[in-house]
């Protein structure tokens, strides 16, 4: 499975995690996650993912975006990631990912977003 294919499974992964949805219950945000060159648009309401759109959408506005190289997400989603690839900020520090836009909703719900974006780790690795 490519990193983008793994990320496309996010609705099922979040639906299966009631604890994460509980922790995000105050969160309402629209954001974009770039898996390499492929953008995903997330609509989050009360901690649940009500919409996930894959692929470019012209002029679609979001609060913030998180972009990472394919390699960065691949390594980040290893069952036990290697040192330096195991956290979003480890990726940004090394220049393999970046945050852009209004980062307030991201920082207000930081653990939620870190855990959300690590969910593909739960899928069996490249098969």
Partner 1 sequence: MAPAFDPMVGRYVRLAIDGVAHRLYFEEAGPENGIPLVCLHTAGADNRQFRHLLADAEITRRFRVLAFDMPWHGKSTPPDGWEREEYRLTTASYTAAVRAFCAALELDRPVVMGCSIGGRIVLNLAIEHAAEFRALIALEAADFQKPWYDTAWLHRPDVHGGEVCAALISGLIAPQSPPVSRHETLWMYMQGGPGVFKGDLYFYRVDGDLREKVKTIDTKVCPLYLLTGEYDFSCTAEDTLRTAAQIQGVEVQVMKELGHFPMSENPAKFREYILPVLDRIAR
Q: Is residue 66 involved in binding partner 1 (CB under 8 A)?
A: no
* Close Cβ partners of 124 (under 8 Å, ≥ 6 residues apart): none
Residues in the interface with partner 1 (CB under 8 A) total: 19
Q: Is residue 22 involved in binding partner 1 (CB under 8 A)?
A: no
Q: Which stretch binds partner 1 (CB under 8 A): 29-37, 44-52, 62-70, 105-113?
A: 105-113
- Position among 18, 22, 84, 100 found at the interface with partner 1 (CB under 8 A): 84
Q: Is residue 35 involved in binding partner 1 (CB under 8 A)?
A: no
- Position among 15, 16, 50, 107 found at the interface with partner 1 (CB under 8 A): 107
Query: What 3-state class would DSSP assign to 61?
Result: coil
* Close Cβ partners of 52 (under 8 Å, ≥ 6 residues apart): 8, 10, 11, 40, 41, 42, 43
17 touches 42 (CB < 8 A): no
Widest Cα–Cα separation across the chain: 37
List of residues contacting partner 1 (CB under 8 A): 80-81, 83-84, 86-90, 92-94, 103-104, 107-108, 110-111, 114
């Amino acid at each position: 499975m490519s990193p983008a294919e793994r990320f496309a499974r996010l609705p099922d992964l979040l639906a299966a995690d009631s604890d994460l949805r509980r922790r995000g219950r105050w969160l309402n945000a629209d954001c974009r996650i770039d898996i390499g060159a492929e953008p995903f648009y997330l609509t989050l309401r009360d901690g649940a993912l009500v919409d996930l759109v894959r692929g470019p959408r012209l002029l679609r506005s979001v609060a913030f975006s998180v972009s990472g190289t394919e390699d960065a997400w691949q390594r980040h989603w290893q069952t036990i990631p290697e040192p330096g690839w195991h956290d979003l900020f480890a990726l940004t520090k090394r220049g393999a990912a970046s945050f852009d836009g209004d980062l307030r909703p991201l920082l207000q719900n930081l653990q939620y977003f870190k855990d959300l974006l690590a969910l593909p780790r739960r899928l069996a690795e490249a098969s």
